[in-house]
Amino acid sequence: MGGSAILVAGIVVLKLSQVAAPALEKLGLVSYLLGSDWDPVSGSFGALPFVYGTLVTSAVAIALALPVSVGLALFLSEMGPKRLRPVVGFAIETLAAIPSVVYGLWGLFVLVPLLRGTVEPLLGRFLGFLPLFRGPPLGLGFLAAGIILAVMILPTIASVTIEVLKTVPPPLKEGALALGATRWEAIRLAVLPYGRPGIIGAALLGLARALGETMAVTMVIGNSPEIHASLFAPGYTLPAVIANEFAEATSELHTGALAGLALVLFGITLLLSAAARILVRAVARGPAGARA
Amino acid sequence: MRSFRLRKARNLAWTAICGLAVVAALLPLLSLLWLVVSKGGAGLSPRFFVDLPAPIGEPGGGVGNAIAGTLLMVGMASLLAVPVGVGAGVFLAEKGDGKVGSVVRFTTEVLSGVPSIVVGIVAYGLVVVPMKRFSALAGALSLALLMVPPLARAAEEFVRLVPSTLREASLALGVAQWRTSLRVVLRTALPGLLTAVLLAVARAAGETAPLLFTALNNQYWNARPDQPTASLTVQIFNYAISPYEDWHRKAWTAALVLLLLVGALNLFARVLARGRLRGAR
């Protein structure tokens, strides 16, 4: 029965390639991957806007979720009252259990109006000198998708970080404290350096989840295959375009081009999650010499 | 050497920042739960659970067929995924220390990171293309593929919790290895395995992306596995992105129903897991 898992991995790649092959042959791999024009009606398919959107939204998500998760994990395991742990732990589990489409609903009717009415005008006024925060505040766009993703990957990063912090040997921190370090100094000098590979691994796991997340992003990103420097602009991601167009794709070329996008997405997430597992394992073993 | 007061102030500032991170993490959760309950609760009525969706402009209407569709597909998916996932987990825990075991473990770990939308296309290729139509079967297969990796991992953990003395006692009495695995180990781990199954079922019930182009949707009741089938999640999606106020309200109510379903499964799983811990002691 265990062999079935390997079989499944093989089937994933095989089936995707089968559906994608005709389109990739006809379009040419290079012009497909680097093309920036996506127009199913005229039969032109370029993957670049989606790859760009996926990377940008995931980057925003990580930039927001990583500091918050690490701060939360540190507060729970090192600073705050112990009584808080089960309560916040339960909340994080709940956050992880909420279906993606419900996040999308919340994003569409709560987050997007908030961004359009308050956050984006403010960001534009004070940080408008950066190309990231220019343009009309539409609400729907990269920023909204990034924030939703941040909320969704937060449980992943936070729970793995908490586990990583548990593996830090107490004598390390106690040593720092005994030498007169404040609690924060002990964290910065002893706890964080020890846990760094594991925290990076946690971030990569979160990133892999962000890259593949579909429904919530589809509902708030604005769904237009364009490349913009501004986070306020609408965009598109790999999973979102598959979700929106796959069921209605009529030509073999269109279906194949979408399956090709899935192949690209699968490749990216595979690389990332493999890297993440290896890093998390490395920290479970601990840096050389730290055990003594 | 910096002054002690500065260092203490710095310590306090970082503690406050990390405390704020906790608040920042919990705010979206509270906002989301509050809105789903308040906005969704307004439209809740017994008929919402049993009626078919009403066309726009007509009053009333529910998501009865979508609830039935979700239950149908999740049920079929469980039939496919539970034996495979639990089997793989038991194998990993009992015989998984060799080379085959580590390969299987790594594969399930990587597979659990496969985006659900990609799994949807795989199910499309496996079922929809040969059958030439969208179907509950295709939807169920995509859900099953998503359920296997977490099931395998959780099953492995729970089987590993079984005390080795139990296993050894059985083997010492001359019981064959496979019988020991089946009658002693599996039975002891049963509450834990049920927890794992319930969590996987809850996750599958909340999936949307792979159903969009496998099960598609359906405005009517359907019990046939070879026909397009409605699901609660796809229905929420369609209602949410529609331009109609009335459908937006229904999206919130359907989201409440979905959250209640997922929440009940999670709660049940938790209670079972707690019972297992007590039993192990």
Residue A130 lies in a domain: yes
In-domain check, residue A74: yes
Give this complex's ipTM.
0.90
Residue A14 within a domain: no
Rounded to 10 degrees, what is the CA torsion of A144, A145, A148, A152? -170
Copy the structure tokens of residue A109.
């009717």
We report the CATH number of the domain holding residue A58 as 1.10.3720.10
Q: For residue range B174-191, what is the model confidence (pLDDT) as tens digits?
A: 998 888 888 888 888 888
Residues B194 and A89 sit within 8 Å (Cβ to Cβ)? no
- Per-residue burial over A144-175, b if 16 or more Cβ lie within 10 Å, else e, is bbbbbbbbbbbbbbbbbbbbbbeebeeebbee
Q: Helix (H, G, I), strand (E, B), or coil: what is residue A41? A: coil
The values of phi and psi at residue A45, to 5°, are -130, 115
Is A21 within a domain? Answer: no
For residue A45, list its beta bridge partners. Answer: A38
Average pLDDT over residues B64-89: 94
What is the percentage of chain B residues whose pLDDT exceeds 70?
Answer: 97
pLDDT tens digits for B246-277? 999 999 999 999 999 999 999 998 888 776 55
How close is the nearest chain A Cα to the Cα of B69, in Å?
Answer: 17
Distances from the Cα of A59 to the Cα of A64, A257, B83, angstroms = 9, 25, 38
Interface test with B, best of A18, A74, A76, A98 (most B CBs within 10 A): A98
* Closest alpha carbon within chain B to A19: B125
A90 touches B: beta carbon within 8 Å: no
Stretch B86-113: mean pLDDT:
82
Per-residue confidence (pLDDT) for residue B178, from 0 to 100: 85
A79 within some domain: yes
Are B115 and A3 inside 8 Å of each other by CB? no
Query: Would you list the DSSP string of A198-240?
Result: HHHHHHHHHHHHHHH--HHHHHHS-------S-TTS----HHH
Question: A16 in a domain, yes or no?
Answer: no
- Taking an 8 Å cut-off on Cβ atoms, the answer to whether A105 and B134 are in contact is no
Q: Is residue A148 part of a domain?
A: yes
User: Which residues of chain B are within 8 Å of residue A69 when distances are taken between CB atoms?
Assistant: 21, 25
Residue B276's pLDDT is 55
Question: What pLDDT score was predicted for residue B111?
Answer: 77
Rounded to 10 degrees, what is the CA torsion of A201, A202, A203, A204? 50
Measure the CA–CA gap between B44 and B30, rounded to whole angstroms: 20
Segments forming the whole domain that contains residue A133? 32-285
Amino acid letter, B87 = G
pTM reported for the whole predicted model? 0.91
Count up the domains in chain A and report the number.
1
User: Can you give the pLDDT at residue A276?
Assistant: 75
Helices (H), B124-244: 129-131, 136-160, 164-172, 177-179, 186-188, 190-205, 232-241
Phi, psi of B250 (to 5 degrees): -65, -35
**A238 to chain B, closest Cα gap in Å:** 10
pLDDT of the residue at A193: 92
Q: Residue B71: what are its φ and ψ, rounded to 5°?
A: -65, -40
Residue A39 β-bridge partners: A44
Rounded mean pLDDT of chain B?
A: 89
Q: What is the mean pLDDT of residues B122-145?
A: 92
Question: Could you list the pLDDT tens digit for every one of the 292 residues in chain A?
Answer: 455 556 666 777 888 888 888 888 888 888 899 989 999 888 889 999 999 999 999 999 999 999 999 999 999 998 888 898 889 989 998 999 999 999 999 999 999 999 999 999 999 889 988 888 988 898 999 999 999 999 999 999 999 999 999 999 999 999 999 999 999 999 999 999 999 988 998 998 899 889 999 999 999 999 999 999 999 999 999 999 999 999 888 888 999 999 999 999 988 888 887 777 777 777 666 554 443 3
Report the candidate in A65, A148, A135 with the shortest Cα–Cα distance to residue A101: A148
Q: Considering the domain boundaries, does residue A69 fall inside one? A: yes
Tell me, yes or no, if A119 comes closer than 8 A to chain B by beta carbon: no
